[in-house]
Structure 1
């Protein structure tokens, strides 16, 4: 409970900080609104949805304790992920939305085009004109998704070896990709005029995969604040339903929750809870993924209501998963997700890493580069050996097509998993995650600091009494030694998992010695199926 007590202290300090900030505001520009004024403008713009919002909140209040969980952190720490999730190991993340139209910078274009010190701002003015004449809203009619084929997407993800799929239902930009009854700014009412999330849900489940959704709406409270500082359409009350309160974001870094005095109103918290419950009720996701800003101190009293409502609803169908970033929840109240990074060593609690198949952006941008199948397979093998899952993101184009390079990489991963999946799916860690000279740098956004693996690097998993040792390179001399396998482990047989061929072996004091056949063509990692005496 250390994190809960820490966040309580932050919450109290946050309230004091907000009061101080309101007493001594920075010098306003002609278009600047106070936090209260900004929130009021947004509330007026969304007043037409107040009856629906109240009805959803009443339903949450009535049913959030109907089941094994209560709306408090002590109860929520009894959470555990369902077995299917622990066994799945590999999922697909999808960042797709209006930000795919400009296809510049990153999926944060919606924010950065209003940040006057960002390249996105200069690009926008040069390409589309000033933000007072052409704002983010004006990309929506260009987001037609004319080639979106959810069945083809689901088939591709299945062939890639994924066991669950999580599209972003709403990104920080505030545009709902689902049929929300709490907003006019949705993909059903504008742009594609399709329930993207609903169509994907049906297609993904039809392929036998689990379906989840990701909500990044929490950050939307302040995401467009740059547009308050100059003449832009963010200041036009007609568009407050899209741009939100656009509160001044007061953290020095966007992810710095521990020094963040950004104003968050109760009205915003209520709306966030209602929209999240709407996703739960309408799409029954097996997974809910949240980005980092739900860790802001003001969310601490609202989060337990949402979690108990969702966990109790999910308990009726075998359990559900909530992915959260480090520090956002009380420990063990959900499944920890490490963004663009990993953990070192075997973890007692199941966890997840998420990263993008492309190197620069989560959403589609022109000219992005991609990770290799080998890099991603090595990542998957390492994460699974430590009791984790890999959630791999793709960014489709605005027209609904998935870039060809991304498709090829996914299919290459699927080919490897088809031959070697027994070492991945449904496995548990061995007594050690691996051996060799290469270990990752632990933590968020550390993925670029990991060195390439070598033929001396092995990762271990077990299933049904079998030990799987995955070698992350092929030794040039045709021999390998697995030092973690001791003489008293009593090996009975060794074979190459991909083709079933037996491998000559000998146990010695320094480990299991293997004499390897010719290197298999076109493989990325090499799995030895080792039968040990019971």
Structure 2
């Protein structure tokens, strides 16, 4: 690739397009309507790290940290790092059973509306055909454009295709291999798999040295190549792009991406964490966590079916489908969307436990999806005694929801009251819908239960809207559909 020519083409697109590379111009961005309606997407962490399948997807970094569990495991299982390094897993990553159509069928059955494969993780291996580096899935490992196959399969089933890039962190990700005799050694040049492997002091200080102009330009070109070749509808960034050195390049990328979307006639979005983008120029994302209250702006949670890892490992600690459904409901009631990750095996098959969880979520959505898809938030997100802890990395603890925990969504003349834990006695009390409520002054014309034939008995008192059922039993949340006037 002629990188200088590509950089000039990026600048020409920005110069001639509606969006410029400054926050004032980018603040004119609007979140696509399709995205706000979709509510539920699938994230996919799949790459070379699925071969060792030990601890989590940070194995390539941690295997070079002397004394770590990964370091010890690597020596015991594969030998000394100088003889067998991370690059030597690439030929073992064959994806011999990968079938994009089978994935698409499963994700469609799960009820997901948009699908987001990781195009490049911190390890620097591109899961797509690229002119930037030879270390990609088309030329090595599977020797297939697996990202292109996914795009065709997902869009063939009317699911929106998206991508994520975690390339930024590659600046330091493999640096510890330089601290002892390993296969990571100088000289390292642009295009090399391990380039640049810059120091990460104390194994923790991930802000040691700012990326160089050469690295930042390489990062920008990789991102724009993904945009040009695969036309994703969402481009997700992981956390490290919020460091100061990336700011000018983030603005360039956003302007380029948004202008290209106009040129192609598609509606797109960028996901970011922390304060990487100015508020209103992209969609904020909360990693493994959510907000405690309703937000006036659209947002997203990204989390995984497993609590301990984004990628497949034999020891994954899985959430239950009901936990995830409750989180989905809570997030949607607060004007958010849930991006749920699965981690396939190295051979391209999706683990049975991941499948089971996705299909159980899909079964619930088949019955109750009208209370999720295309809905909006109500005056209040919900009620009940259980407090949802706010912030990232807070979803490792199971939330002890009760029959008093209720969430609301609305669509047209329908208000949906979703009971997160259905009471055994069949009596539901909704305080927000009581007589003389500050939140609701309308008339309730009728009430039905999604997925059940029973007609509930109900009355409004000054204490609550009281709904009674005799036959409804469910371990999963139950949705009441209220026709209001």
- Fold match (TM-score > 0.5): yes
1:199 aligns with 2:152: no
CA distance in 2, matches of 1:375, 1:466: 25
Q: TM-score, normalised by structure 2?
A: 0.96
Aligned-residue offset at 1:449: 4.3
* Structure-2 residue corresponding to 1:3: none
Contact 2:307 2:396 survives alignment (8 Å): no
Question: CA 1:349–1:107 in structure 2 vs 1: closer, same or farther (change >3 Å)?
Answer: same
Q: What is the 5 A alignment of 1:168-247?
A: 168-235=118-185, 237=187, 241-247=192-198
Alignment of 1:482-501 (within 5 A): 482-487=430-435, 488-499=441-452, 501=454
Contact 1:82 1:318 in 2 (8 A): no
| Alignment CA distance shift 1:463-1:251 (3 Å) | farther
Deviation at 1:191, TM superposition (A): 0.4
Residue matched to 2:438: none
CA RMSD of aligned residues (A): 1.5
Change (3 A) 1:159 1:190: same
CA contact (8 A) 2:431 2:463 kept: yes
**TM-score, normalising length: structure 1:** 0.87
**Equivalents in 2 of 1:117, 1:389: separation in Å?**
40
1:388 aligns with 2:339: no
Q: Does 1:379 align with 2:327?
A: yes
Answer yes or no: is 1:471 the counterpart of 2:419: yes
Q: Equivalent residue for 1:12?
A: none
2:236 match:
289
Residue 80 (structure 2) pairs with residue 130 (structure 1):
yes
Q: Is the 8 A contact 1:440 1:449 kept in 2?
A: no
The one of 272, 276, 286 equivalent to 1:324 is 272
Partners of 1:373 and 1:355 lie apart in 2 by 13
Report the alpha carbon displacement of residue 236 of structure 1 after superposing the two structures with TM.
5.3
Distance between the aligned counterparts of 2:391 and 2:170, measured in 1?
Answer: 25
- Equivalent-residue separation in structure 1 for 2:255 and 2:356 (angstroms): 40
- In the alignment, the residues of structure 2 paired with residue 370 and residue 159 of structure 1 have an alpha-carbon distance, to the nearest angstrom, of 20
380, 394, 419: which one aligns with 1:446: 394
Unaligned runs of 5+ in 2: 436-440
Q: Identify the residue that residue 379 of structure 2 maps to in structure 1.
A: 431
User: For the residues of structure 2 that align with 1:380 and 1:231, how far apart are their CA atoms?
Assistant: 47
| DSSP 3-state at the match of 1:353 | strand
Equivalent position of 2:281 in the other structure: 333
Aligned in 2, Cα 1:349/1:500: closer, same or farther, shift over 3 Å?
A: farther
Could you say which residue in structure 2 is the equivalent of 1:510? 463
**Aligned pairs for 1:27-46 within 5 A:** none
Checking the alignment, whether the CA contact within 8 Å between 2:94 and 2:141 is kept in structure 1 is yes
Find the counterpart in structure 2 of residue 409 from structure 1. Answer: 357
Aligned length in residues:
478
Q: Distance in 2 between matches of 1:286 and 1:262?
A: 33
Q: Distance in 1 between matches of 2:67 and 2:285?
A: 31
Partner of 1:458: 406
**Superimposed CA distance per residue, residues 383-442 of structure 1 (whole angstroms, 9 cap, x where no aligned partner):** 000000000000000000100011011000001001100000010011000000012111
CA–CA distance in structure 2, aligned partners of residues 397 and 422 of structure 1: 33
Aligned residue for 1:243, secondary structure, equals coil
Counterparts of 2:293 and 2:300, CA distance in 1? 14
Distance change (3 Å), C-alpha of 1:499 and 1:478: closer
Structure 1 residues 163, 414: closer, same or farther in 2, change over 3 A?
same
Higher helix share: 1
Q: Deviations over 1:472-497 (max 9, x none)?
A: 11112221110001324321111101
* Residue 299 of structure 1: aligned partner: 246
The equivalent position to 1:249 in structure 2, one of 200, 207, 214, is 200
